[in-house]
Amino acid sequence: MTSGGNSPSRPVVRGDVLLGQIESLASVGLDSEGGRTRLALSESEKAGRDLVVRWMEEAGLEVRVDRIGNIFGILRGADGGLGNGLMIGSHIDTVIHAGPFDGCYGVLSGLAVLRAFREAGVVPPRPLAVAAFTNEEGVRFQPDMLGSLVAAGGMPLGEALNIADGQGCTVGEALAAIGCSGGEEPGFLLPSEYLELHVEQGPRLDAEKKRIGVVEGVQGISWWRVTVEGTANHAGTTPMKMRHDAGYAAALVSVFLRERSLSSGTTLATVGTIAFEPCAVNVIPSKAVFTVDLRDPDGAKLTEAEEGLAAFLEKTALEEGVRILSEHLVRCEPVVFDRELVQTVEDAAVSKGYSSMRLVSGAGHDAQMMAGVCRAAMIFVPSIGGVSHSPDEKTSAGDLLAGVDVLLDVVLRVLGF
């Protein structure tokens, strides 16, 4: 239900405004690689935050910000309160060299739905909110989904504010530096239902030519930081058998993870960052620091993958004569979304005549946290070629509008229209 005009009695999303805002937000934080980089609580993310707050205010929403920087645009319902609401959320922080849709599509679609209610003069029976959560990506500060985790009571605010990035800057300091810490206590606005509209970021919908993803849950995530301490030595004079090469030990771990994941069939493993010291062409690395991202839809198999990693680190330390330390950064359990709400998503897609399929999300989302405190579900639209976390992330305008069409229909169904 998207068009250029307003129907007298039912909310209608103005697709042109939504697409325009996605494009405008995508131009904030443009980087040298044709993508955008708006790491959490950075100056460029602050510019994005300011834009979204302005759009929320222009849509006539009540804007509230909590002490971890989560932003909420609120449309009060007939009951005038803040309880028992329906929230639509996602994030506007990005990875490095990100695409235009990850997170932003969900926040701006939620804003478009609330704007549609306002413009149609329809007062919902209970409050509607759109949320932009802090640090969903977890690139600068770990864990990821930090803002929604704190809002859902999964981590005390004080602990979260003390988390430091690679330069030693804490979340609290970063919030203060960009002036984005709000006055509300995290969790001041907990909904009864949470919906998140997102690009799939994987290949399935595109490959199977389905327009809508009915997301049944999210797989589990486990992040580790591994530090290998070896012995610096001369690259030209040190016999291979005498080396305690931190770089080689790190490479062994990466190959082990790839082979173990392939044989498991479901576990995914990624070494996304690595740094050597002293990092010189003719010096055997004395130190290697790298991260490991493990995922699996099954919590027990994710634990097995963690245990497999720990055992291999121990074995490698012995065999290579190096010291290996590992730090557990994140563990998000797999989540199964609310069956009834998932069914409502599927009913909405079918009623709109959109092809759809059920799937489990490979990527983590704020919905994974919100599912711990309310009924939650997600809606996906296809990522062309399955590409995301890349400047090449693409989704057609038709699919973007189909997604928000389904989102609005789900909201109307849940609210009993």
CB of 364 to Mn ion, least distance (A): 8
Residue among 102 and 320 whose Cβ is closer to Mn ion: 102
By CB under 6 A, how many residues form the interface with ligand HGY?
6
Tell me which of ligand HGY, Mn ion, none is bound by residue 364, counting a contact when its beta carbon lies within the kind-specific cut-off of 5 to 8 angstroms. Answer: ligand HGY
229 part of the interface to ligand HGY, by CB under 6 A: no
Both tokens of residue 162?
A: 């003390």
User: Measured from the CB of residue 229, what is the shortest distance to Mn ion in angstroms?
Assistant: 32
Select from 130-138, 147-155, 321-329, 352-360 the region that touches ligand HGY (CB under 6 A). 130-138
- C-beta closer to ligand HGY: residue 137 or 346: 137
Dihedral through CA 112, CA 115, CA 121, CA 126, nearest 10? 90
Q: What is the DSSP string of 70-136?
A: -EEEEE--TT-SSSS-EEEEEE----TTB-S-TTHHHHHHHHHHHHHHHHHTPPPSS-EEEEEETTS
Contact flag: residue 103 with Mn ion (CB under 5 A)? yes
Contacts of 241 (CB under 8 A, 6+ apart): none
Residue type, 268: L
Report the partner that residue 403 touches, choosing among ligand HGY, Mn ion, none (CB closer than 5 to 8 A by kind).
Answer: none
Q: Scanning residues 345 to 364, which ones bind ligand HGY (CB under 6 A)? A: 363-364
Q: How many CB atoms lie within 10 A of CB 29?
A: 22
Residues 45, 66, 93, 144: which binds ligand HGY (CB under 6 A)?
Answer: 144
Q: Is 137 in the site for ligand HGY (CB under 6 A)?
A: yes
Q: Closest separation between CB of residue 312 and ligand HGY, Å?
A: 23
How far, in Å, CA of 311 to CA of 399, rounded? 45
* Greatest Cα pair distance in the chain: 82
**Can you tell me the distance from the alpha carbon of 160 to that of 345, in angstroms, rounded to the nearest whole number?**
33
45 binds ligand HGY, rule: CB under 6 A: no
Of 333, 331, 329, the closest CA to residue 289 belongs to: 329
Residues within the interface to ligand HGY (CB under 6 A)? 136-138, 144, 363-364
Residues within the interface to Mn ion (CB under 5 A)? 102-103
